[in-house]
């Protein structure tokens, strides 16, 4: 069981919806990954992320897709690529990442609450 947190702890995690603008293979990554450039609207702008989602997704199918991401982690260097946000997903039965995303069209930049 996960350690309990307070509602104030939860509010510290800034999870927003963004639209993937561009996606490219990232073969240099230690584990297969895709480089993403995501639009989070006028307040946050465009941010990048490296996501290990190659099992279920192809770069050419991702532009236009809405995703959920943590936007207030510090940037992390993944090889030669700077990952500025953490795109969220859950494992399937084989442990491969399936993206968390809204099932309806919503404005980019919207915060999860």
> Is residue 1 predicted with pLDDT exceeding 90?
no
Over residues 22-47, the pLDDT tens digits come to 999 998 888 999 999 999 999 999 99
Confidence band, pLDDT 50/70/90 cuts, at residue 2:
confident
Mean pLDDT across the chain, nearest whole number? 96
Q: What is the pTM of this model?
A: 0.94
Please give the backbone phi and psi of residue 71, each rounded to the nearest 5 degrees, phi first.
Answer: -105, 0
Confidence band, pLDDT 50/70/90 cuts, at residue 90:
very high
Across 16-20, average pLDDT? 98
Structure tokens at 2: 């996960």
What CATH number belongs to 21-99?
2.40.50.140
Q: Which residue ranges make up each domain of the chain?
A: 21-99
- The DSSP result for 45-101, as a single string, is -EEEEEE--TTT--GGG-TT-EEEEE-SSPPEEETTEEE-SEE-EEE-TTS-EEE--
């Amino acid at each position: 069981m996960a350690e309990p947190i307070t509602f104030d702890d939860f509010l510290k995690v800034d999870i927003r919806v963004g639209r993937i603008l561009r996606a490219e293979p990232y073969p240099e990554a230690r584990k297969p990954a895709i480089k993403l450039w995501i639009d989070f609207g006028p307040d946050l702008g465009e941010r990048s992320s490296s996501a290990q989602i190659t099992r279920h997704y192809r770069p050419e199918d991702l532009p236009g897709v809405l995703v959920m991401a943590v936007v207030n982690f510090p940037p992390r260097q993944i090889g030669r690529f700077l990952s500025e946000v953490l795109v969220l997903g859950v494992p399937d039965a084989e442990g491969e990442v399936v993206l968390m995303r809204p099932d309806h069209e919503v404005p980019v930049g919207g915060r999860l609450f």
